[in-house]
Structure 1
């Protein structure tokens, strides 16, 4: 019997454009994402230059700052940004989000 395994991958990239408006002072950000085998985000972390951190997941999809990415990602465009699960989990466990 063949068992299909659902694998997750982890990515990190810098976004060099600020949010603008009332959040402009936050500065640029680094995104961390946990992506399922269907290329949808399960967890997302945003770490801003001013120290603010935002977390999104299935239990907290959106708020007035932003939302969990709801678009299917193109793995060909993000594969160069892949990180380990350990690196992702270290950020998830060590950062305190302002939106949860």
Structure 2
């Protein structure tokens, strides 16, 4: 089923490369994204190996650490990483971001 047939979809994947530079010590990360029907991120979480957490959404789309993904995603390339809305919301409501 295409993302265009649903209002929102949720994804989770691991990023095995650190940010580099002054944030290199944060380690690798796990990304969570809520994607809208136009294939753009609405909400995004980044959870790092050292425990740091970053949140981005329409009210807080960028800061000194990074930004909400502004590129249209291809749902065929991320389909295997789909998670439930419940899993996304559980993480969203249980983590405390350092950038908000």
Q: TM-score with structure 2 length normalisation?
A: 0.94
CA-CA distance at 1:8 after TM superposition? 0.2
- Superposition pairs for residues 1-100 of structure 1, below 5 Å? 7-100=7-100
CA-CA distance at 1:45 after TM superposition? 0.2
Structure 1 segments of 4 or more deviating over 3 A?
A: none
Count of residue pairs brought into register by the alignment: 96
Q: Deviations over 1:18-74 (max 9, x none)?
A: 000000000000000000011000000000000000000000000000000000000
Cα RMSD of the aligned pairs, angstroms, is 1.0
- List alignment gaps of at least 5 residues for structure 1: none
- List alignment gaps of at least 5 residues for structure 2: none
Find the aligned partners of 1:76 and 1:70 in 2 and give their Cα distance: 18
Q: TM-score with structure 1 length normalisation?
A: 0.94
Any idea what SS the aligned residue of 1:98 has?
A: coil
Find the aligned partners of 1:75 and 1:8 in 2 and give their Cα distance: 11
Larger radius of gyration: 1
